[in-house]
Amino acid sequence: MDRRSFLAGSAAAVAASGFANAQGADEIRIGAPLPLTGPLAPEGRKQKRGYDLWAAEVMKRGGIEVGDKKRPVRIIYSDYQSATPRGVQACEFLANQEKVHFLFSPFGSGAAKAGSAIAERYKIPMLAATASSREVYDQGFKYLFGTFTPNETLTDPIADLVVATAPAVKKVAIFSRNDLLPLSLATALREGVKRHKLDLVFDEKFAIGALDFAAPLTQMRAAAADWIFVGGYINDLIQVRTQMRELGLKPQVLTMIAGPAYEEYIQALKGAAENVSSASWWHPAVRYEGEDIFGSTQNYVEAFKAAFNGDIPDYAEASASAVGAILQLALKKSGTTDGPAVRDALAAMNAKTFWGPVHFGPTGQIDSLNPPVFQIQNGKTVVLLPDEIKQGEFKLGIS
Amino acid sequence: MNSAILAQVLVNGLLLGGLYAAIAAGFSLVWGVLNVVNMLHGSAVVLGAYAAFFGWQLGINPFLAALAIGPAIGLLGWVVQRFIVQRVIAAPVLITLVLTFALDLVLNNAMLAAFTADYRKMGSVTGLPPLMIGTVSIPADRLIAAVLGIVATFLVHLYLTRSRLGRAIVAVRMDQETARLMGVKVEHIYALTFGIGLALAGVAGCLIGAVFPISPLNSGGYLGVAFVACVLGGLGSVVGAIVGGLVLGVVESLGSMLIGAEYGVTVAAVLLILMLLWRPQGLLGRAGYD
Amino acid sequence: MHARLQGWVLPVAILVIGAIVAYGLPIALSNQTYLLRLATSLALLVTLASAWNLVGGFTGYPSFATAAFFGLGAYASAVMQQFGWSALTGYATAAICAALLSAPFGFAILRLKGHYFAIASLMLVSILKEVTTGWSNVTGGGMGINLPGAGGDPLAIARISLEILVMLAAFSVALSLVISRGWLGFGLSCIRMNETAALSAGIDAPRLKTIAFTISSAICGVAGAAYAGWIGYIDPSDVYDVMWSVRPIIAALIGGVGTVFGPVVGSLIYLVFEELMWRNLLTFGTGALGVLIAILVLVMPGGVLPSLRKGKVS
């Protein structure tokens, strides 16, 4: 399934690059540089699924309403092989040669930041589905919009929750991958720890690609932390949790971002995932109604399951579909594909969508959402915050 | 830092070191005998790990699977040396380095295409709880993997010192010309040695796969381990590889504690450079090739 | 007197040609940013290959440190510009930092030979990469640095980057030519052919080797700074990628290690192949490149130029 759609995507990219002139003068062309091969390929594939689902839904309805016409949409993918400079070049290629109307940002905060310069240069609105760090949006650019809320919106609620439900928890350990997103999360949590006057007993980074965490975990054990926070990608987090068990670390609270949001994390760890808490920008358990093409969170989840063999969407996939749906709303509003006009429509947007309420702040980052906090209980994900969609109570104790 | 933590850190280091020894030994052998730095080595380790992983999906214990996977990858190594590397065996260092680097690109890319970059994990192989000695925790799988790593390396050492072919290999390492004059078919020895080197890499891969997540992205890291452990212990000396591996494991573990977990590679690299400048033949080796 | 005048003609000619290309090419290619990008990549590779050649070709020491100084230069320049200094200051800082590090480091590891030297030089790349990532207050760590001015006019940026890199390439080649004909080049080739004999003939090998290494590294540093300005964003895994060490070597190998124009020819051939691979063989592009390099090494280890000029000593 993956390989087929991947090959289709590559074929599309190769074919597209051979046709510099638009095939249909009517169609709306969106450039989507993605890491379809290389280390970030798993993430790139997720984004592609999200985009493809949205595009398919659009075509099912006959196209995007722009002014008084319905126009077809074509997403032009370009594989930048997980190398950011290639990603930047891909953005440039898409803007300059393929003459796309809009850009979907390359994956991740670093690449999004770099690519946004191209969008700004060419005055093409760029929507970033996976860029959460504030640093991405701090260049004063006008053409960048992102659907992930800033990182402290993930760490603050959970810090408040832990302090409220477990006053005995005083010693905190922060362990983060030396990478843009995890570092940002760590910084945000550090602020939370200071705010609540907790005791930071361990605060370290681990190298990208590190496989062995025995030494830092040993130090954490010695420091007797009650609350361990680990920021990294799914394979790091699985390995850290496994080694925690081997070394006998049993804190009261274990929070990990961003692995537990994925089914694979729970599958890989089985019982060891119990009571691990996490937060993410979206979760299929949330319930929102929307004026977008999908109509509601539940509809979106059903549509995703139908298209992809019963798989449940995760936040990255949903975010990718969301940027498409949001762009669609902006096009409907502005009635034109002209870059600056659509950009203004995005900046002024105040809409309800399956993703949640959408409003972009002055830097272009979304500021209208409350990301969910959840915990794995009995092998299932239970949403703890925000209160409107709460499904259970916070449990303490890691075995 | 009290003695309990220190003990745990040392144990962690030794457990790592056993695996490192297995990685380094094959690399050291090839370098010492053929004077070829085999840039393929890291990818061979990863290949072994994948083979063990797929075996595990079928229910085969990776520690046992190593017995088959090692020789299989060794055969691959034999073929690569006999038909490709041998052609440039007398060429300058730059040429052989670039050649093995290019071959590594091919192997690594093939694995990336075939298996994708997604990390695979075997989960607990033995299912046993960690062994506790006081407050020091020794995970069962790691212990077995480390011990087997050293055993495998030691078996190769025995082969080199006790068997006829093994001794021929050592002879070629010490003095290629004289060995040739004594009737040793040097080209065959080269191919055999390369095969053994890669077989060991495959075995190391099975052991590593049992303990760490697997991805083609890690091959560079394993190659780096091979370099450092090899230089520490001494070229061409299998026992040296064991010593080098253990020392590297402990240094990494201590370094992580003292300097920070994100400087692991720096610590190893600086150690390597210092070693090269101070005592290039390593702790146990004789002065190798220039 | 006549001979000395003649000696300067060719290097100056190279610089002039470089200037013509630098300023004329953008006009010739007008708005084709894709072609401008290819040309800039070519100029960059020529610069690095030519610089590498001083150590790897003339002196015979297979250095893998190119990426280390390339990355160092990129970061030095980016950090300076982040603090508000001009791009020119960035370039100067890049060259100075590279020189300051390469001189003592080179002096130390140039005592080693063959594989040992290669590995030690390679290790520097890992060390600098990790240290840069760790020193996040200054370098932004894993987040990388966005250079000021990255959001400016695309055509202007493309044009200026091309001009800078073509001039740098021309400078690198011209310098290479001047060195090859002078006392330094003579000393280096003696060292390459037989270092022991050179030493006993009175050549101060350690000093000459270190000079070559330092010059080479400084050029790589400036190239890194130029690269940072061109792309607008750098992070440790991009600029300290070992491929920045390997590509120049391949380019030199293709064209002819140790010749002055080999790196130029080799860079062109290599880039054509790399671009073809990347455009057409998405999943297996790197692997195909590996096959190509392997074939090259097996079939033509001397390179294109020496094969064409049979009989001439390289």
Residues of B in contact with C300 (CB under 8 A): none
What average pLDDT does this structure show over C299-309?
70
> With an 8 Å Cβ cutoff, are B94 and C298 in contact?
no
Q: Judge whether C129 and C243 are in contact, CB under 8 Å.
A: no
Amino acid making up residue A195: R
Is residue C118 a contact partner of residue C63, using CB atoms and an 8 Å limit? yes
Instruction: Indicate the residue of A41, A215, A248 with minimum beta-carbon distance to B12.
Output: A215
Greater confidence (C157 vs A257) lies with A257
pLDDT digits (tens, 9 = 90+) for C180-225: 999 999 999 999 999 999 999 999 999 999 999 999 999 999 999 9
Query: Across the interface, which of C143, C241, C285 has its CB nearest the CB of A183?
Result: C143
- pLDDT number for residue A197: 93
Nearest Cβ partner for C287 among B99, B110, B262: B110
CB contact under 8 A, A218 and B265: no
More reliable by pLDDT, C116 or C221: C221
Taking the Cβ of residue B256 and every Cβ of chain A, the question of whether any pair is shorter than 8 Å is answered with yes
Residues 6+ apart with CB under 8 A from C261: C173, C255, C305
Residue C308 lies in a domain: no
* Statement: residue C4 has pLDDT above 70: no
Q: Do C143 and A109 touch (CB under 8 A)?
A: yes
Is the confidence at residue B8, as pLDDT, over 70? Answer: yes
Does residue C150 belong to the interface with chain A, where contact is any CB pair within 8 Å?
yes
Tell me the mean pLDDT in the region B216-234. Answer: 89
Cis omega (within 30 of 0) on the bond before A371? no
Residues of C in contact with B35 (CB under 8 A): 115
B100 touching A, CB under 8 A? no
Q: What's the whole-number mean pLDDT along residues C246-253? A: 91
Q: Can A2-149+284-358 and A152-280+372-389 be said to share one CATH topology?
A: yes
Which of the four pLDDT bands, split at 50, 70 and 90, describes residue C151? Answer: low
Cross-chain residue pair B9–A238, CB shorter than 8 Å: no
Interface residue C237 vs chain A (CB under 8 A):
yes
Among C112, C134, C291, beta carbon nearest to B262: C134
- Written in H, E and C, the secondary structure of chain A is CHHHHHHHHHHHHHHHHHCCCCCCCCCEEEEEEECCCCCCHHHHHHHHHHHHHHHHHHHHCCCEEECCEEECEEEEEEECCCCHHHHHHHHHHHHHCCCCCEEECCCHHHHHHHHHHHHHHHCCCEEECCCCCHHHHCCCCCCEEECCCCCHHHHHHHHHHHHHHCCCCCEEEEEEECCHHHHHHHHHHHHHHHHCCCEEEEEEEECCCCCCCHHHHHHHHHHCCCEEEEECCHHHHHHHHHHHHHCCCCCCEEEEECCCCCHHHHHHHHHHHCCEEEECCCCCCCCCECCCCCCEHHHHHHHHHHHCCCCCCCHHHHHHHHHHHHHHHHHHHHCCCCHHHHHHHHHCCCEEECCEEECECCCCEECCCCCCEEEEECCEEEEEECHHHCCCCCCCCCC
Q: CATH for A2-149+284-358?
A: 3.40.50.2300
pTM (whole model) above 0.80? yes
Put simply, whether C81 touches A (Cβ < 8 Å) is: no
Contact C114/B91, CB-based, under 8 Å? no
Q: Do A211 and B264 touch (CB under 8 A)?
A: no
Number of domains in chain C: 1
Contacts of A12-15 spanning 24+ positions with Cβ under 8 A: A12/A76, A12/A77, A13/A76, A13/A77, A13/A78, A13/A79, A13/C282, A14/C279, A14/C280, A14/C282
List the single range of A222-226, A312-316, C17-21, C42-46 with lowest mean pLDDT.
C17-21
Contact C249 B94 (CB under 8 A): yes
Q: Which one of A265-269, C185-189, C307-311 scores highest in mean pLDDT?
A: C185-189
Sheet containing strand A102-104, strands side by side: A73-79, A28-34, A102-104, A126-128, A144-146
Domain borders along chain A are 2-149+284-358, 152-280+372-389
pLDDT, position B286 = 59
pLDDT for residue C13 = 86
Q: What is the mean pLDDT of residues B275-280?
A: 85
Q: Which residues of A touch C237 (CB under 8 A)?
A: 208
Is C251 inside any structural domain? Answer: no
For domain A152-280+372-389, the CATH class is: alpha beta
Are residues B261 and A268, on separate chains, in Cβ contact within 8 Å? no
Q: Check CB contact of B265 with chain A, cutoff 8 Å.
A: yes
Per-residue pLDDT at C118 exceeds 80: yes
Least Cα separation, residue A360 to chain C (angstroms): 21
Mean pLDDT of B112-124: 83
Contacts of B267 in chain C (CB under 8 A): none
In total, the C-beta contacts within 8 angstroms joining chain B to chain C are 125
* pLDDT for the residue A20: 38
Lowest mean pLDDT among A111-115, B110-114, B237-241, C26-30: C26-30
For chain B, the three-class secondary structure string (H helix, E strand, C coil) is CCHHHHHHHHHHHHHHHHHHHHHHHHHHHHHHHHCCCCCCHHHHHHHHHHHHHHHHHCCCCHHHHHHHHHHHHHHHHHHHHHHCHHHHCCCCHHHHHHHHHHHHHHHHHHHHHHHCCCCECCCCCCCCCCEEECCEEECHHHHHHHHHHHHHHHHHHHHHHHCHHHHHHHHHHHCHHHHHHCCCCHHHHHHHHHHHHHHHHHHHHHHHHHHCCECHHHHHHHHHHHHHHHHHHCCCCHHHHHHHHHHHHHHHHHHHHHCCHHHHHHHHHHHHHHHHHHCCCCCCCCCCCC
Tokens encoding A42: 């798993």
pLDDT digits (tens, 9 = 90+) for A134-190: 878 888 899 999 999 988 899 999 999 999 999 999 999 999 988 778 888 999 999
Is B121–A246 a contact, with Cβ atoms under 8 angstroms apart?
Answer: no
In a domain, C223, yes or no: yes
For residue C165, being part of any structural domain is answered with yes
CA distance B117 to chain A (A): 5
Facing B269 at nearest CB: one of C127, C289, C293: C127
Contact state of A38 with B112 under an 8 Å Cβ cutoff = yes
Give the nearest chain B residue to A206 (CA atoms).
B262
CA distance A111 to chain C (A): 9
Q: Among partner residues C115, C253, C284, which is closest to B113 by beta-carbon distance?
A: C284
Domain assignment present for C221 = yes
Of residues B16, B121, B217, nearest to A212 (C-beta): B16
Of C34, C143, C232, the CB nearest to A110: C143
* pLDDT band for position A209 (cuts 50, 70, 90): confident
* Residue C302 touches chain A, beta carbons under 8 Å: no
Domain that holds residue C58: 20-243
| Residue B97 with chain C: CB contacts under 8 Å | 62, 115, 118
In a domain? residue C162: yes
Q: For the complex shown, is ipTM > 0.85?
A: no
C273 inside domain = no
Burial class (CB in 10 A: 0-12, 13-18, 19+), A194: exposed
Tokens standing for residue A382: 């239970």
Check CB contact of C133 with chain A, cutoff 8 Å.
yes
A336 pLDDT above the threshold of 60: yes
Task: Residue A25: count other Cβ atoms within 10 Å of its Cβ.
Answer: 6
